[in-house]
Amino acid sequence: MSVFDFTSLSPDLILDGLESTGLIVDSGLLALNSYENRVYQFHDIDKTKYVTKFYRPQRWTEAQIREEHRFSFELADNELPLVAPMKINGESLFSYEGYHFAIFPCRGGRIFEVDNLDQLEWMGRFLGRIHAVAAKNNFTERPAFNSEEMLQQAQLVIEKSNFVSPSLTLPFFTILEQVIKLASQQYQPTSEIRLHGDCHAGNILWTDKGPHFVDLDDCRTGPAVQDIWMMLSGDRQQQLLQLDTILSGYDEFHSFETNQLPLIESLRTMRVVNYMAWLCKRWQDPAFPHNFPWFNTEKYWEQQILMLKEQMSALQQPPLSLLPY
């Protein structure tokens, strides 16, 4: 079985795996937008809709996936609106023909509006509640956000891929090394908790009753600000207003340590560098050239040079601070 693709994961295998849990599938499989894993919607004979996630082989260990599930159940037990995996006969993680998979109830909703201040304050309260629960225990299996994996190792992945155009190799790796050096120096967290880890708008679904989270696949240990900065957008003044709005709700349930604010740009650097490395690592998976046709072109690497220069400038700017009252 390949680390990089799901060649052997046929529709028949998926259906057989689902029915091995006792579910009776009465539909086809509707593929949802997921590239790291394979995610499908289906319904049973009662027309109840479900979502199944087949985990990418060898990305996470079984122990790490089970810890993700335990975190989901802990949050759900504390009445937090999070889509946790279903338990069937006491089990939430299943295995079939070498693939681990989970089944979730199907929950709808609209995309969270990152420029809606009312929704941002609501999200702040929601995150404060999540972090209040998350801070009570520690992960023992899941990794932490760290510069070694997400910057230095990511750089090696990009180098070994040989995807950067020869004419751009020198300027690209020169600015990449400078950005990584500065971000690594700045990333010095003083406190860490369990996190969602990938708290972008696509993982937050909004209903009239408020938000609910999906996808804890990237949950890790790290500074609380990691789950906050990804909801900030726009220019500096807009981000300051958004940050103030989020934290006004957050602090109702969990105290935010403002000394984490200088970590935002180093965390952002980890994300952008790791994203490039992720595309390099996964390019052998046929789903990636199909869905990311703009990657691995000269224009793409030219854009990354400009993006890294902008990120270097951001790392050199004073960090965001809370608005004075």
Annotated catalytic residues are 198, 215
Q: Dihedral sign, CA of 147, 153, 156, 161?
A: negative
- The answer to whether 67 and 142 are in contact (CB under 8 A) is yes
Distance CA 183, CA 311 (A): 10
**Per residue, what are the HEC states of the chain?**
CCCCCCCCCCHHHHHHHHHCCCCCECCCCEECCCCCCEEEEEEECCCCEEEEEECCCCCCCHHHHHHHHHHHHHHHHCCCCECCCCCECCECCEEECCEEEEEEECCCCEECCCCCHHHHHHHHHHHHHHHHHHCCCCCCCCCECCHHHHHHHHHHHHHHHCCCCHHHHHHHHHHHHHHHHHHHHHCCCCCCEEECCCCCHHHEEEECCEEEECCCCCCEEECCCHHHHCCCCCCHHHHHHHHHHHHHHHCCCCCCCHHHHHHHHHHHHHHHHHHHHHHHHHCCCCHHHHHCCCCCCHHHHHHHHHHHHHHHHHHHCCCCCCCCC
- The answer to whether 55 and 65 are in contact (CB under 8 A) is yes
121 φ/ψ angles, rounded to the nearest 5 degrees: -65, -40
Chain centroid offset of residue 279 CA: 15
